[in-house]
Amino acid sequence: MSERATLPPRGLPGLDARFSRIVAVPGRGVDEGLVREWHCLDTGAELAQLGVTIAGTIVAVHGNPTWSYLWRHLITESVRVAGTSGPAWRVIAVDQLDMGFSERTGVDRPLAQRVLDLGAFTDALALDAPIVTLGHDWGGVVSLGWAIDHPDALAGVMLLNTAVHQPDDVPVPAPLRLAGARGVLAASTVATTAFLDTTLALASPPLDAATKDAYRAPYRSAARRRAIGAFVADIPVSGTHRSSAELQRIAAGVALLDVPALMLWGPNDPIFSDRYLDDLVDRLPHADVHRYEGASHLVAEDRPYADALLTWLGRHRDRLAGGDTAAPRPSSVPTTATAAGEPAFVPIWRGLDDRRADDDIAIVDMSSRRSRPTRRVSWRQLDDRVRRLAAGLHVAGVRRGDRVSLLVPPGPTLSAVVYACLRIGAVVVVADAGLGIRGLTRAVRGSWPDFIIGETPGLTAARTLGWPGTRISAARLPRAAAAALGVSYSLYDIVRMGYAGSLPPAPGPADDAAILFTSGSTGPAKGVAYTHAQLSALRDVLAAHFEVTKDTGLVTGFAPFALLGPALGTRSVTPDMDVSSPRTLTAKAVADAVRESDAHIVFLSPAAILNVVDTAHALTPEDHAALGRVRTFLSTGAPISAHVLEAAARLMPNATPHTPYGMTECLLVTDITLDGVHAAADSPDAGVCVGLPIGSNRVLVSALDADGRAGGTPTAAAGVLGEIVVSASHLKNHYDRLWLTDHAAVRNTLEIEPSAPEARWHRTGDIGHLDENGRLWIEGRLPHLIVTADGPLAPIGPEQKVERVDEVRRAAVVGVGPQGVRQAVAVVETVPAAARAGLAPPHLTRAVRESTSVPLVAVLVVPRLPTDIRHNSKIDRSRLSAWAERILAGARAAAP
């Protein structure tokens, strides 16, 4: 028996009754000849009253067991901003039949019928193109079914957690299996509110009681919950299910869509996991994707999705609103074409090609000397191994664009695998083991690799934690061990397969080459995607600036540069250390590595340098003689102080010390030598001078406003404090599956240089200024800016002054109090170290306050300043700020 549609009760939190309406819709399919009543939320009347121009219509479709209430934030936000920046989008959020406050038809409605239903609804409203669909859960499937059936009206698709394909070898998600089990289905979905309650409990953070009650409002009785059970029963659990053919039709059709697409995803969803996101990305490779770390199934409740949707719509306004809707799909044909006047593209592996007949040493691995002898690999051996691995990986099914996560420490094996993957166009995914198991899990699952190549610890973690991808072991494993770890091949197997295989066509400069994860020192680690052209540009910038030749030789105690030796065509050596823990590197190990390889350049991280200097007493005369042959020494990573650089320089007296400034997104931006650091010491500028841009790199500064926001037009003017923006040929391509982050980090070239539209700019998140000589000075990070009543205060300048106090070893200046009226606090690490954390003694407080013109509300001491996981030199100011607030509020003085 049917039950007519009704309007929702008034007073539901966040829902404006003005937008509710009932629409009479002539039925189709099983409803042919009938008229059905739909409830929907519609902003059309309100926009008409406001008199704004309509850009098009968003048709939003909820899933099971929600209703149009899911889209209330988009409804209100779209009206709030209507007309402020061009034409507005009308939003129509439907309640599917038998759901929400739409008519209860009492008729079985499988997937194909629901797609017909939605088409009947849009036809009844006579909606004009352009239309953008929006769907969540099974509403995503229904909306995509409508999309492929209405190509002339469709302008774009937007999706929250959903799926269009269930792999044959993967079980349906456990919550759905349980809910759909015989004997459980009716009880959990219809007779009780268990399924509804479980869904609402997935919100992260939890929903308040009033919001939960609003979601329950249409489903007060078992009769009104019948469709919840019907939706679960309609999930195609096998190829013989009645809705399987329709789901397959939709999945195939999605892969043919050439319209702009956006996916916003909650990766903690126990139902629609990243597996389903990866499938959708394969079908819509041009889509913009953003994973909200920590969000779950109800991502529309967990995160500000409405802002993201409207931002995306604005970004694609011209293409969506009746313009060119075709979205470029990645080409499967490599290209080597370059713009006029640009040098021809030289692949990253060319150094190997050029030396493939050379029996000189290419790579030396000393990092495992305690368990096995030093490993030496010639250029001929390396090239042969790369080619065999590349051919074998292709035989094993690795294809261009496939993601290969590498859980192998730096050394010959990793180098060979990396260049093999690059040679066939596979995308290498590299996440530093220093992220820890939790960080690695987030990185691997976030990138969702097709293959994992690892040593036993990494493969064990992959098996235990459910990391995706076909598993390949670096070493040959006993059959039982391989089976237990789910290993399909070993690299030995891959090499053997390579003898019978051949190399596929090489990738081109625009193809993705690598995803490198950031350190995670400023939040969850982000995947930074590079193309082949960008990796090759990095190689060329490094070679030109530091005059690298085939005879130079590199000691690489800094993981990101450990793989560049083969690309540069010069030998490289990894010293005896745990590369995931930089402080395990000793001065003796550096000397041994230099002697072994006759290297002229040494790359070290700031954390490694501290331990190298601290262990210099163990050097022998022979070690000192070896270090005396070094010509260039680089501290790559966070800026380090002049006295630490000087101490390292004394160990390598004939080397020119450099401390380049860069980040995972752009590994080399500026450079300064020790002489440059000394020259800068006489400058009145605050901060750490990191020198001049390298090569053709560009650096500008976006000025801060009184609230600490970097909104000023980027400029090269001297003395402007603001966010640093950079441009370089080797700047990253994008953040992987973090569209919003990428959107926020990229400044439109036309804002900066209308005459140079080909340039790309990146917002670094660092704050600083340029001086009159064009040198860059770093003064902190945007999140660490202290916005006082007198304006923004950068921390590094006052910290440097505090560190001149005799008793102070290191200092951090952090803010306490409400934003906009925060006050500065100095937290210091003393010599000798303080026995416990707390207020500084009066004499030290007085000396610290006198050292700087910045008014300090308090001076605190700690035995050791907290640092982030990966970079022991980077002080965790956010953690210190929260700790200082607790201490000053009277909490016990436990160390931060």
pLDDT at position 749: 53
| CA pair distance 721, 703, nearest whole angstrom | 6
**Cβ proximity of 336 and 508 under 8 Å:** yes
pLDDT at position 700: 94
Kind plus residue range of the DSSP H or E element containing 707: none
Residue 178 pLDDT exceeds 90: no
pLDDT at position 210: 97
For domain 673-727+737-781, the CATH architecture is: Roll (2.30)
Q: How many CA atoms lie within 13 A of 799 on its CB side?
A: 26
Convert the pLDDT of each residue in 490-546 to its tens digit.
999 999 999 988 999 999 999 999 999 887 666 678 899 999 999 999 999 999 999
- pLDDT category, 581, cuts 50, 70, 90? confident
- The structure tokens 């005896």 sit at 576
Q: Report, in this order, helix, strand and coil percent for the chain, each rounded to 5.
A: 35, 20, 40
777, β-bridge pairs: 689, 769
Convert the pLDDT of each residue in 814-831 to its tens digit.
999 998 899 999 999 998
- Nearest in space to 419 (alpha carbons), one of 507, 529, 336: 507
- Nearest in space to 562 (alpha carbons), one of 512, 636, 670: 636
pLDDT at position 869: 44
Query: 3-class DSSP state for residue 815?
Result: strand
Domain with CATH 3.30.300.30 in the chain: 785-888
725, β-bridge pairs: 700, 763
Residue 894 pLDDT exceeds 80: no
The β-bridge relationship of strands 375-378 and 361-365 is antiparallel
pLDDT at position 336: 39
Task: Please give the radius of gyration of the chain, using alpha carbons only, rounded to the nearest integer.
Answer: 30
Residue 580 pLDDT exceeds 90: no
- pLDDT category, 330, cuts 50, 70, 90? very low
Domain with CATH 2.30.38.10 in the chain: 673-727+737-781
Q: Provide the residue type at 855 as one letter.
A: P
Q: How many CA atoms lie within 13 A of 767 on its CB side?
A: 26
Domain with CATH 3.40.50.1820 in the chain: 17-169+238-318
Convert the pLDDT of each residue in 42-96 to its tens digit.
999 999 999 999 999 999 999 999 999 999 999 999 999 997 878 899 999 999 9
Give the lowest-confidence range in 117-131, 401-415, 468-482, 552-566: 552-566
| CA pair distance 446, 520, nearest whole angstrom | 14
pLDDT at position 748: 55
For domain 785-888, the CATH architecture is: 2-Layer Sandwich (3.30)
Domain with CATH 3.40.50.980 in the chain: 380-507
Residue 258 pLDDT exceeds 50: yes
Q: What is the DSSP letter of 369?
A: T
The domain made up of 17-169+238-318 has a fold known as Rossmann fold (3.40.50)
**Cβ proximity of 66 and 33 under 8 Å:** no
Residue 531: phi and psi, rounded to 5, are: -90, 170
CB atoms within 10 A of CB 340: 4
CB atoms within 10 A of CB 686: 20
Residue 840 pLDDT exceeds 90: yes
**Cβ proximity of 822 and 787 under 8 Å:** yes
**Cβ proximity of 13 and 211 under 8 Å:** yes
| CA pair distance 762, 765, nearest whole angstrom | 9
Give the lowest-confidence range in 107-121, 176-190, 288-302, 569-583: 176-190
Convert the pLDDT of each residue in 737-789 to its tens digit.
999 988 888 755 546 665 555 568 899 999 999 999 999 999 999 989 999 99
User: 477 burial class (0-12, 13-18, 19+ CB within 10 angstroms)?
Assistant: middle
Q: In 271-334, which ranges are E strands? A: 288-291
**Cβ proximity of 292 and 265 under 8 Å:** yes
Averaged pLDDT for residues 881-891: 87
Buried residues in 241-260 as b, exposed as e (16+ CB within 10 A): bebbebbebbbebbeebebb
294: left (phi over 0), alpha (psi -120 to 50) or beta: left
The domain made up of 380-507 has a fold known as Rossmann fold (3.40.50)
Convert the pLDDT of each residue in 393-429 to its tens digit.
999 999 999 999 998 888 889 999 999 999 999 999 9
Percentage of the chain with pLDDT > 90? 69
Residue 199 pLDDT exceeds 60: yes
Q: What is the DSSP letter of 586?
A: -
pLDDT at position 238: 78
Give the lowest-confidence range in 137-141, 342-346, 884-888: 342-346
pLDDT at position 434: 67
- Per-residue CA distances from 888 to 67, 162, 817, 841 (Å): 47, 47, 10, 15
Residue 871 pLDDT exceeds 90: no
Give the predicted TM-score (pTM) of the model.
0.89
Which tokens go with 557? 């105690």
Across the chain, mean pLDDT equals: 89
Convert the pLDDT of each residue in 338-373 to its tens digit.
444 456 789 999 989 999 999 999 998 887 545 567
